[in-house]
Amino acid sequence: MPLINKLQRLYQNSKMAKKLTSRSENYSQWYNELVMEANLAENSAVRGSMVIKPYGYALWEKMQRVLDDKFKETGHENAYFPLFIPKSFFSKEASHVEGFAKECAVVTHYRLKSDGKGGVMVDPEAKLEEELIVRPTSETIIWDTYKNWIQSYRDLPLLINQWANVVRWEMRTRLFLRTSEFLWQEGHTAHATQIEAVKEAETILDVYADFAENYMGVPVLKGLKSPNERFAGAVETYCIEALMQDGKALQAGTSHFLGQNFAKAFDVKFLNKENQLEYVWATSWGVSTRLIGALIMAHSDDNGLVLPPKLAPIQVVIVPIYKKEEELKEISAQVEKITKELRKAGISVKYDDRDTFKPGFKFADWELKGVPVRLAIGPRDLQNGTVEVARRDTLEKEVLRIENIAEKVENLLNQIQKNIYQKALDFRENNTFTVDTWEDFKNQIEKGGFVLAHWDGSSETEQKIKDETKATIRLIPLNQDKEAGKCIYTGNPSQGRVVFAKAY
């Protein structure tokens, strides 16, 4: 074998998708390998920070576009607030300081200088009078700003969102799920009445749930957090929770009714219609790149990613099957026609005509990357006017005639979108359990899934359950059935069941 071919073979092997560890073998390793091998993200040279690679970022852009449109449809505008927050701001809201002024990146100096040895050192003379905190969330700086923007009821509601990076120092990180820096959106709204603010928090919860279910294909429960799990500074935290394939819960988005807490902390009052000064009512809400982690863990399998068609950066990949150059030429001409038709129908298509890789490699590669539909075309297909169509979710193949191919593919994409949602929903329903005794509770929590159980409503009980089982109350269902019962832990009376689970 000539050297150049040998080198090429070596290179191909190095690029070759390693077979992933299976989910049953080691779920967490499967996840890490998948994120890396599918080119979504990787760890960076900065401990705890990730690099989001082009394919992962394309997924995030798709998510951003859908969410941003929904925010705008519901009357919100985007703005941008500073990355840095003066340290003293964090002390202004009593419970917020407890929750957020902890694992933060702190800027203490504003200049480097030469160390005289070819390197650089921090200039000790450039010390800041007041340290700056890299935002872990922006309530404080934003409410400090709103103070100047709000005087009258006519300035309300103020409905603002920001797309930004935030930093919360983490010691144990996992790509997308928990990193020191992550990307997110944070909405911060101001209202004249409590009712309006509560309604806003609920509207956004619906936007999040709609996005999770109808775009990500991930079914979610909607509910309220218990006081222990509430956002630091919130009166009430609404959340959506999804169940991952390993039986652990993942909080996919939160929307907070903040009452007048931040308005009081930053002295934001308005003149109401009755000409009286009143504190403003607030909400805040966010989802982050963590959603990508949820998406991966909800649908993917041992062959790789399974992406919902509505968010897949590439919806259809086309692979030519050929031996001779002339064959490729003829196939490519056919592919061009098909591609044109598909794009006209708004479908994103990639033609993989790389000559350095064999079809088998390409099939595995696009399976790993979760492209919903794969078309393969060979010389016989040209003769017969057909194309082989494979769907990623079920791995089923069929040979179709190329007439009306765009319509056929569109239908298939819709089917896949529905199917992966249904599969995830079936999984959740099969993994939701109702238990009434402490023994059953402990056993079930150990096995995984959502566990519906009675709880006496005390934070102390919740903490003890967590200490003993690692389970937390994921949510108190919004549409909780009123049902008298006894707390599984204390036996004290309870008005209804809440959802417990171990969580990410």
Site for its own copies, residues 173 to 212, rule: CB under 8 A: 181, 183
Residues numbered 30-49 forming contacts with its own copies, rule: CB under 8 A:
42, 44-46, 49
**What phi-psi label fits residue 107: left (phi over 0), alpha (psi between -120 and 50 degrees) or beta?**
beta
CA pair distance 492, 471, nearest whole angstrom: 19
Please say whether the beta carbons of 235 and 259 come within 8 A: yes
Nearer to its own copies, 261 or 469 (CB): 261
Does 66 bind its own copies (CB under 8 A)? Our answer is: no
Residues numbered 229-288 forming contacts with its own copies, rule: CB under 8 A:
271, 275
CA pair distance 324, 287, nearest whole angstrom: 50
Does 398 bind its own copies (CB under 8 A)? Our answer is: no
CA pair distance 478, 63, nearest whole angstrom: 26
Q: How far is the CB of 130 from its own copies (least distance, A)?
A: 10
Nearer to its own copies, 104 or 389 (CB): 104
Residues numbered 3-32 forming contacts with its own copies, rule: CB under 8 A:
3-4, 7, 11, 14
Q: How far is the CB of 347 from its own copies (least distance, A)?
A: 17
Task: Report DSSP letters for 440-462, one per residue.
Answer: HHHHHHHH-SEEEEE--S-HHHH
Does 79 bind its own copies (CB under 8 A)? Our answer is: yes
Among 9, 16, 75, 106, binds its own copies (CB under 8 A): 106
Please say whether the beta carbons of 245 and 301 come within 8 A: no
CA pair distance 431, 7, nearest whole angstrom: 49
Residues numbered 127-156 forming contacts with its own copies, rule: CB under 8 A:
131-134, 141, 144-145, 148, 151-152, 154
Choose the binding region for its own copies from 82-90, 247-255, 418-426, 428-436 (rule: CB under 8 A): 82-90
Please say whether the beta carbons of 150 and 190 come within 8 A: yes
Please, which residues have CB within 8 angstroms of residue 196's CB and are 6 or more apart in sequence?
157, 281
Nearer to its own copies, 49 or 203 (CB): 49
Nearer to its own copies, 38 or 445 (CB): 38
Choose the binding region for its own copies from 102-110, 221-229, 294-302, 487-495 (rule: CB under 8 A): 102-110
Q: How far is the CB of 171 from its own copies (least distance, A)?
A: 9
CA pair distance 349, 145, nearest whole angstrom: 45
Identify the CA nearest to 21 among candidates 45, 1, 4, 37: 37
Among 27, 33, 58, 345, binds its own copies (CB under 8 A): 58
Does 380 bind its own copies (CB under 8 A)? Our answer is: no
Does 1 bind its own copies (CB under 8 A)? Our answer is: no
Nearer to its own copies, 356 or 479 (CB): 356
Q: How far is the CB of 16 from its own copies (least distance, A)?
A: 13
Nearer to its own copies, 104 or 487 (CB): 104
Helix (H) or strand (E) holding 9, with range, is helix 3-15
Give the three-class secondary structure for 237. Answer: strand
Does 81 bind its own copies (CB under 8 A)? Our answer is: yes
> Token pair for residue 346?
């708004």
Nearer to its own copies, 314 or 412 (CB): 314
Please say whether the beta carbons of 30 and 18 come within 8 A: no
In the beta sheet, which residues pair with residue 499? 452, 475
Does 346 bind its own copies (CB under 8 A)? Our answer is: no
CA pair distance 156, 281, nearest whole angstrom: 10
Nearer to its own copies, 76 or 428 (CB): 76
Does 95 bind its own copies (CB under 8 A)? Our answer is: no
Does 343 bind its own copies (CB under 8 A)? Our answer is: no
Q: How far is the CB of 200 from its own copies (least distance, A)?
A: 17
Q: How far is the CB of 49 from its own copies (least distance, A)?
A: 4
Count of residues that interact with its own copies, criterion CB under 8 A? 74
Q: How far is the CB of 152 from its own copies (least distance, A)?
A: 5
Distances in Å between the Cα of 138 and the Cα atoms of 122, 165, 188 are: 28, 11, 9
Identify the CA nearest to 175 among candidates 380, 341, 281, 31: 31
Nearer to its own copies, 63 or 465 (CB): 63
Residue burial 283-308, b: 16+ Cβ < 10 Å; e: rest:
bbbbbbbbbbbbbbbbbbbebbbbbb
Nearer to its own copies, 111 or 447 (CB): 111
Please, which residues have CB within 8 angstroms of residue 132's CB and are 6 or more apart in sequence?
84, 85, 86, 87, 106, 107
Among 9, 28, 29, 120, binds its own copies (CB under 8 A): 120
Nearer to its own copies, 289 or 472 (CB): 289
Nearer to its own copies, 165 or 495 (CB): 165
CA pair distance 441, 500, nearest whole angstrom: 9
Among 22, 26, 28, 91, binds its own copies (CB under 8 A): 91
Q: How far is the CB of 275 from its own copies (least distance, A)?
A: 6
